[in-house]
Chains A and B, each alone.
Chain A
Amino acid sequence: MSAKSVHSASVSAQAGGPESPKLLSVAGLSVQLGGRTLVEAVDLDVARGEIVGLIGPNGAGKSTIVKAIAQLLPHRGDIRLDGAPVGRLGARARARRLAYLSQDDQVQWPITVAELVALGRYPHRSGWGGTPGAGDRAAVEAAMRAADVWDLRRRRADQLSGGERARARLARVLAVQAPLVLADEPVAALDPRHQLEVMALLRGHCADGGGAIVVLHDLTLASRFCHRLLLLDRGRAVAAGPVEQVLTPAHLRAVYGIAVVSGRHRGQTYIVPWERDDGPHER
């Protein structure tokens, strides 16, 4: 079985013809908070089967965009899920189609990993929470196995290592079974192996017909795992499109003020930030 065939099958099955709406389409997104413009006129879309990476320096507006799409911040612009304006969806209907993983690792009470992951089923249950049905349990189990936290399911969330908790929180997001996953720096503070695992997990979600937006700082991870990238600087899109069009030395120098070392390995590009480079012109 080839991945390509799986993917194209799922895309053609779920996305229909070329006219069918994108999983997510964002047009003219602007966010202003306290008189400051954090994001201005950003366009972005995600097709099924696609991971789109948001990259850019600290304060470029990556997290703000993700929060605005998740309807966590007041914003202007048009955000559509499968062609329907997301603002018109009820909170639960929206939650079933869009899962958000925040940058802050906060699990306040020492609940178990299984209970943490099961919280992802809330949008699928009745107003009172109710007892989880077989479908809920199966989704929770599948998510825990996918994120490799099945063995940790009876452990308390506060007793996990950073990598374990990151995977448990990602399992919580996967348990929602929302088509669109918004992950804000899911690999921050993870060791290299766990970084690769988390990114592979998000890829798996997309290979199954979902889509994802991932905020990243690691350029190699962005190059290796994302189908398309959006490079941001001070709230504006600098470049968007396929990896090789976005992660050019000129863009990286202009946005980050760095020079990079890059090369190819097994058909993929790796990028290592090498030194400061403010270029011939002042930024």
Chain B
Amino acid sequence: MTTVSRGDTPESEPATEPGYGARAGLGNGPYTDASTGAGSEPGTGPSRAGPGSAPGGGPGIGPETGPPTRPDAAQSAAAAAGWLGALGLVGLLTLGLLGLSLLSLGFGAAPLTWAEVLAGLLGVGPEEHRLIVQQIRLPRVLLAWLLGAALGMSGAALQGLLRNPLAEPGLLGISASAGLGAVLALYFGLTAVSLWALPATAMAGALLATLLLYALTRGGASNLTLILAGVALSSLAGALTSLALNLAPSPASVQDIVLWLLGSIADRSLADVRLVLPFVAAGLALLLAAAPALTLLTLGEAEATSLGVHLPRLRGLVIAGSALSVGACVSVTGTIGFVGLVVPHLLRGLVGHRPGRLLLPSALGGALLVLAADLAIRLLDTPQPLMLGVVTALVGAPFFLALVLRSRRALA
């Protein structure tokens, strides 16, 4: 194959290129010819009159073609504002989380002031306060953090990976599958064998569900396919859970399992927190490592790959991260839905819709939401204590319905 000499090609007509150069102004690129710098003349230059120059000029570029070398202050300011905005959002959410946590630590049968809570946390106050804060209320708050962070960040990451705003660990059956894993551990008495059996089986269930889900929806499935896959997975996990209940040897164990399935962070201990903390931390770290690639996935899988994203690695990070963090939490708290749907949706606009930037705020927002829901349950003071999973579903399901209504055109 021969290289064509320029003389063969019509576009080498001199008239075209200067006009183009003015528009191109790729001044800082490796291909810059110093002489194209002269092209900073307005695109309305004489070159447009030349033959074949039709593609060269456009009226819209006149005033904007100014000196192209000047770094655009507005653009960098906008970029800085974007980062500041994201940082500000993270800071705000963190402050809110800490404030609400103090409130939650102080609230209860024995109300404590903020000072008493802090003293109890540090172990400098009366022994009674220390016990109440550290042994009874702190595990609840810490579990709310872990659970909310796991659900929020997993939701945001799954939405980025599947490029679908309706992805969520609960809706997609990941939580239900983790629940099934945990129920099986309870049913077969594995919990007596090892303390780690429950989180291990729950994480295995979550992992299996996430892998299956990915296989069903790879290559950008429609909303409909995604939701159907989630419904199928949830139903399967639910049916198998029901089977376990059905065959359960004693009514007492049935009640245990059902109560646990409803989802709650009440009456947990610091041992529970210690059990799930390493897995949640590892899961969140995996998800955060996927952040830049998730943003690139906005362009679709092919272009993201062409920009250097390693898709199998990205999928592995998100799937393993979600399974670890959600699975571990479910093993202690039971299934709690919709947090991963609601939180990223509320925060997405505040981070410029960039999936990578959504992860950390979603974790904080998720923690905030779970903590608030838990506080609301305690404030409501119902005759029977409300379960956290019931409340999040009562709030989240209508929210989901509204989202579906909004995207019903896409579903149809």
How far apart are A64's CB and chain B's nearest CB, in angstroms? 12
Contact B297 A108 (CB under 8 A): yes
A123: Cβ under 8 A from any B Cβ: yes
CB distance from A281 to the nearest CB of B (A): 28
- Are B11's CB and A224's CB within 8 A? yes
The answer to whether A209 touches B30 (Cβ under 8 A) is yes
Residue contact B308 to A123, C-beta cutoff 8 Å: yes
Q: Decide yes or no whether A188 CB sits under 8 A from chain B.
A: no
Which B1-40 residues sit within 8 Å CB-CB of chain A?
Answer: 1-4, 6, 8-14, 16-18, 20-21, 23-33, 35-36, 38
Docked Cα-Cα span, A72 to B79, in Å, equals 31
- CA–CA, A100 to B295, complex, Å? 17
Confirm or deny: B298 has a beta carbon within 8 angstroms of a beta carbon on chain A. Answer: yes
Q: Which of A30-38, A150-158, A252-260 contacts B (4 or more CB under 8 A)?
A: A150-158
- Chain B residues with CB under 8 Å of A154's CB are 78
Shortest CB distance B135–A (Å): 39
Across-interface contacts of A268 in B (CB, < 8 A):
10, 52
The answer to whether the Cβ of B55 comes within 8 Å of any Cβ in the partner chain is yes
Q: Which residues in chain B, 321-356, are within 8 Å of chain A measured between CB atoms?
A: 348, 352-356
Partner of A210, one of B16, B18, B31, B36: B31
A138 contacts the other chain (Cβ, under 8 Å)?
A: yes
Q: How far apart are the CA atoms of A104 and B3 in the complex, in Å?
A: 31
B282 sits at the interface (CB 8 A): no
B82 to chain A, nearest CB (A): 8
- Give A208 to B29 CA distance when docked, in angstroms: 9
Known: A111-B352, A119-B296. A100 touches B302 (CB 8 A): yes
| A142 contact from B29, B300, B308, B310, Cβ within 8 A | B29
Interchain CB contact under 8 A, A208 and B26: yes
Q: How far is the CA of A127 from the CA of B288 in the complex (A)?
A: 12
Residue from the list A94, A116, A143 in contact with B308, Cβ < 8 A: A94
Write the nearest CB–CB distance from B236 to chain A, whole angstroms. Answer: 28
Contact A104 B300 (CB under 8 A): yes
Q: Are A1 and B35 in contact (CB under 8 A)?
A: yes
In chain A, residues 73-120, which have Cβ atoms closer than 8 Å to a Cβ of chain B?
91-92, 94-95, 98-102, 104, 106-112, 114-116, 118-120
B10: chain A residues at CB < 8 Å are: 224, 266-268
Neighbour of B354 across the interface among A67, A111, A142, CB < 8 A: A111
Q: How large is the interface on B (under 10, 10 to 19, 20 to 34, 35 or more residues)?
A: 35 or more
- How many whole Å from B28's CB to the nearest CB in chain A? 4
| Most A Cβ at <10 Å: residue of B21, B51, B55 | B55
B309 contacts A by Cβ under 8 Å = yes
B14, B72, B355: which has the most chain A beta carbons within 10 Å? B72
Interface size class of A (residues with CB under 8 A): 35 or more
Which chain B residues in 281-306 approach chain A with CB under 8 Å?
291-292, 295-300, 302-303, 305-306
Q: B65 contacts which chain A residues (CB < 8 A)?
A: 145
Are the CB atoms of B307 and A115 closer together than 8 Å? no
Task: Flag if A145 contacts B64 (CB, 8 Å).
Answer: yes
For B302, the chain A residues whose CB sits under 8 A away are 67, 70, 72, 100, 102, 104
B83 interface residue per 8 A CB criterion: yes
Which 4 A-B pairs give the minimum distances between C-beta atoms?
Answer: A3-B17, A208-B31, A200-B55, A196-B55
> Which A residues form the contact surface with B (CB < 8 A)?
1-4, 6-10, 14, 43-45, 47, 49-50, 67, 70-72, 91-92, 94-95, 98-102, 104, 106-112, 114-116, 118-120, 122-123, 127-129, 131-132, 134-135, 137-143, 145-146, 148, 150-151, 153-154, 156, 172, 174, 176-177, 179, 182, 196-197, 199-201, 203-205, 207-210, 224-228, 240-243, 266-268
Besides the known contacts A6-B17, A129-B295, A146-B25, 15 further A-B residue pairs in the complex with CB atoms under 8 A apart: A3-B14, A10-B31, A49-B6, A70-B306, A91-B309, A94-B308, A95-B308, A101-B303, A118-B79, A137-B79, A141-B75, A145-B61, A145-B65, A148-B60, A240-B1
